[in-house]
Amino acid sequence: MKAILTVLGKDKAGIIATVATILAQNNINIEDISQTVMQGYFTMIMLVNLENSKIGFGELQEVVAKKGEEIGVKIMVQHEDIFNSMHRV
C-alpha cells in the first residue's frame, strides 16, 4: 500500500530529518519526495510505501500527527486511493 504524506508549517531545521526518522524506524520506504520553502513556510509531499511497515496506516497517521504538533507543523497521511479516485472522475 502506498500513501501520500504532507507536511506544512513554518520553516525550521530538522523537519525532514524528523519525518524521515519516523518512517525509517517503521520500515516505511520513501519512494518520491518534493519539498520547498515559500516565504518562510515549509511544504513537503512524500509518496511512501507501507508494504513492509511495522505499523498500520491508522497508527502512522496518529504518530506523525502527534510529532507534527510537537515540532509545530501539520503532518497528514492519506491513502493513495484517494488521489487515484480523484483522477478517475
Q: Domains (ranges, CATH) in the chain? A: 2-86 (3.30.70.260)
27 φ/ψ sector (left φ>0, alpha ψ -120 to 50, else beta): left
pLDDT tens for residues 42-82?
999 999 999 999 999 999 999 999 999 999 999 999 987 76
41, three cell numbers: 513556510
Instruction: Kindly tell me if the per-residue pLDDT of 21 is higher than 90.
Output: yes
**Is the pLDDT reported for residue 83 higher than 70?**
no
Cell of 23: 518512517
Count Cβ atoms below 10 Å from residue 82 Cβ, excluding itself: 10
Q: Tell me what pLDDT residue 82 has.
A: 67
